[in-house]
Chains A and B, each alone.
Chain A
Amino acid sequence: MEAENESGSDQVIQENYSRLVSRVIHEYDIIDVEPGARSEESANEDVKSRDSSQDDVTLPRVNCPEKIIICLDMSSEMDKVSFRSRSGDKWTPMKLVRRALSFFLHSKQRLNRNHQFALVHLFDKASWVKDFTGNVRSIISALDDMSDTVELQSFNATSLFDLIHQCVPLPELEGDTTILPPPYIVRMLFIYGRSNGLIEFRNKESFRQLDSSPYFFFDAMYVHEPQSPENRCEEIFDRLCDLDEKGMSYIFEAARNPTRLYDQMAKLLAHPLQRPLQSEIAYRLHNIADLTDT
């Protein structure tokens, strides 16, 4: 079911290099139908850059410090091998996510030393593991020294939002909020890995309280088995998208393809107050069409 490597013609030209590259980078297998794909990406130059008048947001586009809460799924599915490269290397979602998080943390810190990170584990309820710190190494150690994953069914999202609402104060709105930068914003990075365990969300009170603040953001990364009639990936992904009530979230997913997981995690680096809406993101530097001309 794996498709041909798209850059086949390039490889013929640069053999040594391309062998390495194909092993590592160009790993597409598919044409899996992406459950509820949320973005259409086009070349950067094709479309006008973001026009602020189109936004509903009236927040200043400032790179204030972020308090990022990494919410990591501890279900045993995270430890089941499901990501593969063309060359046959295999990984569990957890291994890839931990590595991608390490890149995320280092990059985010380079962007701004004042960003802080916290870690929450998602069992059937959420539990706080590491409080906010700017010390990236300590978060990475906490990720390395994790407790074991557990066989889990559905996830109780109420418990997560209750926990965050209780433990994380949001900045008060002061002065002219369209101009004045907040002292920080709070962003949840919800990493979920269950292909069958639904996200249950009965009591939304805490979530509503958090989401009512313009300084609160919810982003998600969903890793899962390839979508099939035997699992509930599409439904789960839709539930995740439902959490994006303000339209400001980034919700990504990846299955099977490790490169894509790294790519999506990198997109999550973007600062919520400065980044385009997910429907407007465009990273490509060059049209493929332009390349064939040269």
Chain B
Amino acid sequence: MAKAGDKSGGSGKKALKRKAATEEPQEAAVAEDGATESGVQPPKAAAFPPGFSISEIKNKQRRHLMFTRWKQQQRKEKLAAKKKLKKEREALGDKAPPKPVPKTIDNQRVYDETIVDPNDEEVAYDEATDEFASYFNRQTSPKILITTSDRPHGRTVRLCEQLSTVIPNSHVYYRRGLALKKIIPQCISRDFTDLIVINEDRKTPNGLILSHLPNGPTAHFKMSSVRLRKEIKRRGKDPTEHIPEIILNNFTTRLGHSIGRMFASLFPHNPQFIGRQVATFHNQRDYIFFRFHRYIFKSEKKVGIQELGPRFTLKLRSLQKGTFDSKYGEYEWVHKPREMDTSRRKFHL
């Protein structure tokens, strides 16, 4: 039959289609065939009920067939359109209009009024006199205490050890079931400037509490995608004792600035460029990616990097003013999923 032949030709060479094609002559719905044909080809005149869509076919196999055929048609049209556009661009040469920039979630980000303007004096004053002022004025140098939640397992312990090689002037202590509120005054009296607590759940580290010590803010992060050194492919040799450089990417809003400053105050001021080591905190879509690399300049513009050190991803849960006090402390920012995560294009850091 001409129709069957047409359909098998149009559907391509798949075996399924052959089976469906053989079933077709048994179907009596001529009107249906006609209607689906009208769906496949540009709309015919209204001989068939308009508003008919492929999803109204009750037979699953036939519906699937019609859909695959429609999909192939769409793909063909799309390819043809692309080729045409490419040809037109080549024909125009230099006079071709610039390529349209594809929309991504990052460049569709909703305008955030808290994005810091570098010329803003009020924000500059606020930052110059906040709790990190003593670090940024070079009056104090960082001394970090790294610990975990109680009774940590192997991964967490190893992560702490590796973190202490990455962060200079840091000490790891075993948390013998001590309360943080009791540890903090002791740290302050021993001149520690920051406290890092790695929280563990079911033998994997999943949280990070970073508390700036004299009376500074406490940030609570969710930690995910933790890779220890041996799990990193093509990594370099262990990091040396040189002080690394820091890269803080994309902390644009006021909250982002506070968190960025918190990370910056973990590392001493004077990076030793001889060591060629760099720690990167890259913020993208409210996730902060931590990486530790060693770089080497092969020429003026070409750099080779080797990933050393642990890698993990952080997401900010809350920023509390004052040292760790989750029950009675005042929060500067709390992440509320049902209120803040309503738009896919709105980010807070």
A binds B: no
